[in-house]
Structure 1
Amino acid sequence: MTATIKPLGGSQKNDFRNPRSTQEVRKMTATIKPLGESQKNDFRNPRSTQEVRKMTPVSRRLEVEDNEQCRRYFLLLHCATAMATVFNDILFPPNQTLLRPSLHFPTSLFTSPPRKFPRSRPNPTFRCSIAKESTASPPITRDSVPVDCVVVGGGISGLCIAQALSTKHANSNVVVTEARDRVGGNITTLERDGYLWEEGPNSFQPSDPMLTMVVDSGLKDELVLGDPNAPRFVLWNGKLRPVPGKPSDLPFFDLMSLGGKIRAGFGALGIRPPPPGHEESVEEFVRRNLGDEVFERLIEPFCSGVYAGDPSKLSMKAAFSKVWKLEKNGGSIIGGTFKAIQERNAASKPPRDPRLPKPKGQTVGSFRKGLTMLPEAISSRLGNKVKLSWKLISISKLESGEYSLMYETPEGVVSLQCKTVVLTIPSHVASTLLRPLSAAAADALSKFYYPPVAAVSISYPKEAIRSECLIDGELKGFGQLHPRTIYSSSLFPNRAPPGRVLLLNYIGGATNTGILQKTDSELVEAVDRDLRKMLINPNAQDPFVLGVRLWPQAIPQFLIGHLDLLDVAKGSLRNTGFEGLFLGGNYVSGVALGRCVEGAYEAAAEVNDYLTNRVYK
């Protein structure tokens, strides 16, 4: 016997978008008997799936032996088409999003793996979504109540913005979305065999904003601070030499000659060439103000080690804005320093938060179980406001002034509506997403450069350290440059087993992009070879390798013109009607962990001001 299924007419198609006809379909399906086990298995059998696929197109004839079975296929097809049509119109309404993916139904329902639909749908218009078997919260659809702010990116900047909005501006409803399956961005702490090491940032400056974030995250008791007297070393003429930590150390500082010290002193007082009429690089500024020796023996290795940058291209104004402002505001570095002190003493400032710890001297901080404790603590406090494995695929602005964000998620495609958006993702990722909104903003963001950096974590026995590098029989200090090596086991407790020394080495950067072509073994050999020239005994045993982490796009470079490009990107978004869409992250605030936190508080204040003053339709 044969049965013919006629194509649906226009009115019938439209009926499937009508809740009333959806109820009629539900009544129709109630008469369908459950399929037997053998029939169920047929839908999971590759061979029978191909047979069903051939039978499903509406314009073809169904060859079946049983007319009752044909009727079941017919009604199942109508149900699937109804649900698929509603699903498509909810997630991808016309003229609401920049990207409207093409969904082909009903054939795709049979060519994809079996999916589970909720049995009960009190309001199918709002709740129609394809879901996996999981305990996750239901997907947010376009019809959900808009949140105040969506922070795109679950790195330290994004999490701290959300934390600041939740604590400093308690009325804000915020959601954080992260494309990866974990929070923290490049913060990566690992633990094995009695070692605890970092593969991204290693520490932070314990500024008041940073300590506020620590306390608000519930980590005050987990905070560990380094020794403020721990020396930092620079290699010069084959010897590691300590960098002066305070003015009284300058006379005994053997890294520079007497003439170099005099030149630096006069320059700092203002006896030096005047500033040029263009934006200076770090190299130009330092050579002009402090002389060649300060640049070549101190600043150049510092820029290469800390910023992974080329000081001849880094912008002094962007990368070291505080020092740049001293000369600009005070006529010289010393003059600006005294002026800043006078202004700070004259200004009335609120009392310091009594909850904050009081670090002694210039030191660095971390946590008992590493830096990853901070993003994990913030994420835990935010709870289900943090969405993992959510990849943003499009942004659009609605007539109401709100934004619609389309995501690929483990539960399928999800649309999230919000009043403000903060993009804390890398600039090159933001550029791609913003191109449909503002080509000028996208072009500006695409010009920021992120060089590669490798983090090589290795360990030696204590007796492998050269005797001249030991203080009271111990390796003491923060670390050294050439290569940039952090004495992790000396800086914080419980980083290595007794009798072992843990060293975290950063190599690569803008002046050494060749690391991309090196294997892990070659990177370890390069680090070990350099360390044996200054720190490790040449005949010491091979190091114990904990890990090598290569970051192909690691640290944004604040090159000459960086701030201008950032202004262009922000201005273009604002001028094309995308107020309420903010840019954040380390390419905006600065690369140091503490600057990311300070920038997060600034971004949260901007969002709060916008929400306070904005009137939505």
Structure 2
Amino acid sequence: MEKDIVIIGAGLTGLTCAYYLNKRGKDFVVLEKNDRVGGVINTKEKDGFIYETGPNTGVLGSNESIDLFNDIKDSCKIEIADANVNKRYILKDDKWVSLPSGLISGISTKLFTFSDKLRLLGEPFRAKGNNQNESLSELVKRRMGKSFLDYAVDPFISGVYAGNPDLLITKFALPKLYNLEQNYGSFIYGSIKKAKHDKNNNIKNPSRKIFSVNGGLNNLTESLYMLSGKENFHTSVNDIKIKYINNKFVIEANNNTLSCNQLICTIPSCNLSNVLDFIEEKDLIPFNTLEYAPIISIAIGLKKWTGIDINGFGGLVPFKEKKNFLGVLFISSFLKNRAPEGSVLINVFIGGTRKKNLMKLSDDEIIEILKEEVAPIMGLNNFSPDLLNITRYEKSIPQYYVDSGCRFEKIKELEKKYKGLVIAGNLRDGIGMADRIKQGKNIADSIL
């Protein structure tokens, strides 16, 4: 069997790429090892609660993501999060403290020290850094102060990467922040200057609103699957081995052989060495050494809520607070119809790169953390949830460390050496859903 294009992996990147290839009438097939498409995106329903075992929401952080939802609106309706999403909290001394949203709240907040608040006034006048491999911690301490690291950036990084800001490199992990300093010399001045430049040049920027889709994110992946032509997908494809013979990719899987001119790999970095037989072992080192944050995602539903007011997006936990959980999302406060009338759905996250040992805990031990740490902070005297679902991801979120530059260069080198090869997925170009959509579309656009 021969195809022009083969996509390995039917996560959001592969699905988006397939959708646009199908629109252009391209000859392709998608191979997926699991018995369903969607990758880590997976919506479940029980007793009226609609919850996610993977990502709960995305951010409209690319114009490509907005365009996709406009394109598929007849089969998948985007749900923009309620205004409550703008209320965000940081844990300090076992209490949720509102994250400042403006000048007045920024001055009065107890999250940051008085000296760092004064220091922030000088941020636009500080010299820009010249270390391309500067960590997020180093950057924030240099420009803003340690309390901003401890009670703003550190919990933010826990929420996005489940990672360690001491190890994440700004240029790779938060490139937009890095570019603000490099291009304008300041976060504050740069944000103002860039906004003015974009407005004067009619540059359309994405809204960066929090989103899901009606009925859960499964509806997004299922819609892309159907609109891409389900006949183009093969699931439960195991033991994929790929060779490069006479300028073609020869794929063996499930006792079948398939050849193609163009191969698009969207699988996790750690799995590439099991699939790409034609690449030398030394060239796979940058992929095999990519660290992933482990995550335990816990969906909790309560038909009667007796805790604190949870009108908001959720709360994040600074590492300095020495807790065993990373944060809590108040799902039913900002997404409609996720819990029965009068009920509450929240999601708790445990783990991350600094708490890998927690992945060894049993379900009962995890429930003890919920009872001893989470419940008191949420004001729940009696923790007896009506829904409790625990999902473990040993390799959840890739960490963009100092070796990321080597990985990106190796991808370019291999794609140049093996004509038609594309190495994609969240090992490069960002980890968010909008990043995955953008990458998938750009790959499809690049195929003539």
8 Å Cα contact 2:415/2:423 also seen in 1: no
| Alignment partner of 1:486 out of 296, 314, 329 | 329
- Residue 517 of structure 1 pairs with residue 360 of structure 2: yes
Which residue identity does 2:151 align to in structure 1? R
Which residue identity does 1:380 align to in structure 2? M
Query: Deviation per CA, 1:353-377, whole angstroms, max 9, x where unpaired?
Result: xxxxx97xx6311122101111111
Counterpart position of 1:166:
22
Please report how far the alpha carbon of residue 344 of structure 1 lies from its aligned counterpart in structure 2 after TM superposition. Answer: 2.1
Distance 2:76 2:11 in 1: 23
- Residue 582 of structure 1 pairs with residue 422 of structure 2: yes
8 Å Cα contact 1:454/1:506 also seen in 2: yes
Which residue identity does 1:581 align to in structure 2? L
> Which stretch of the first structure deviates more once superposed, 340-349 or 414-423?
340-349
Which residue identity does 2:211 align to in structure 1? G
Please report how far the alpha carbon of residue 598 of structure 1 lies from its aligned counterpart in structure 2 after TM superposition. Answer: 1.4
Which residue identity does 1:465 align to in structure 2? G
TM-score, normalised to structure 1's length? 0.67
Describe the SS at the equivalent of 1:275. coil
- Residue 283 of structure 1 pairs with residue 129 of structure 2: no
8 Å Cα contact 1:228/1:363 also seen in 2: no
- Residue 313 of structure 1 pairs with residue 167 of structure 2: yes
5 Å matches for 1:170-249?
170-207=24-61, 208-218=63-73, 222-230=77-85, 231-246=87-102, 249=105
- Residue 605 of structure 1 pairs with residue 445 of structure 2: yes
Describe the SS at the equivalent of 1:553. strand
8 Å Cα contact 1:441/1:573 also seen in 2: no
Counterpart position of 1:405:
251
Distance 1:477 1:418 in 2: 49
Distance 1:221 1:276 in 2: 45
Q: 5+ residue gaps in structure 2?
A: 318-325
- Residue 298 of structure 1 pairs with residue 298 of structure 2: no
Overall identity of the aligned pairs, in %: 26
Distance 1:540 1:591 in 2: 37
Distance 2:280 2:125 in 1: 44
Query: Deviation per CA, 1:21-48, whole angstroms, max 9, x where unpaired?
Result: xxxxxxxxxxxxxxxxxxxxxxxxxxxx
TM-score, normalised to structure 2's length? 0.91
Please report how far the alpha carbon of residue 348 of structure 1 lies from its aligned counterpart in structure 2 after TM superposition. Answer: 5.7
8 Å Cα contact 2:244/2:250 also seen in 1: yes
Distance 1:262 1:462 in 2: 44
Q: CA 1:221 to 1:175, structure 2 compared with 1: closer, same or farther past 3 Å?
A: closer
| Alignment partner of 2:407 out of 554, 561, 565 | 565
8 Å Cα contact 2:305/2:344 also seen in 1: no
5 Å matches for 1:114-153?
141=1, 146-153=2-9
5 Å matches for 1:23-422?
141=1, 146-167=2-23, 170-207=24-61, 208-218=63-73, 222-230=77-85, 231-246=87-102, 249-267=105-123, 269-271=124-126, 274-347=128-201, 363-382=209-228, 383-391=230-238, 393-399=240-246, 401-408=247-254, 413-422=255-264
- Which has a greater percent of strand? 2
Query: Deviation per CA, 1:65-116, whole angstroms, max 9, x where unpaired?
Result: xxxxxxxxxxxxxxxxxxxxxxxxxxxxxxxxxxxxxxxxxxxxxxxxxxxx
8 Å Cα contact 1:441/1:568 also seen in 2: yes
Distance 1:372 1:533 in 2: 33
Distance 1:319 1:271 in 2: 22
Describe the SS at the equivalent of 2:396. coil
8 Å Cα contact 1:452/1:552 also seen in 2: yes
Distance 2:152 2:213 in 1: 29
Which residue identity does 1:256 align to in structure 2? F
Which residue identity does 1:202 align to in structure 2? N
8 Å Cα contact 1:589/1:595 also seen in 2: yes
Please report how far the alpha carbon of residue 249 of structure 1 lies from its aligned counterpart in structure 2 after TM superposition. Answer: 4.4
Distance 1:533 1:161 in 2: 45
8 Å Cα contact 1:434/1:441 also seen in 2: no
Counterpart position of 1:595:
435
RMSD value, Cα: 2.2
Which residue identity does 1:258 align to in structure 2? F
Counterpart position of 2:322:
none
Deviating beyond 4 angstroms after TM superposition, the runs of 4 or more aligned structure 1 residues are 246-249
Please report how far the alpha carbon of residue 313 of structure 1 lies from its aligned counterpart in structure 2 after TM superposition. Answer: 0.7
Distance 2:172 2:202 in 1: 28
Distance 1:270 1:199 in 2: 45
The higher radius of gyration belongs to 1
Please report how far the alpha carbon of residue 502 of structure 1 lies from its aligned counterpart in structure 2 after TM superposition. Answer: 1.1
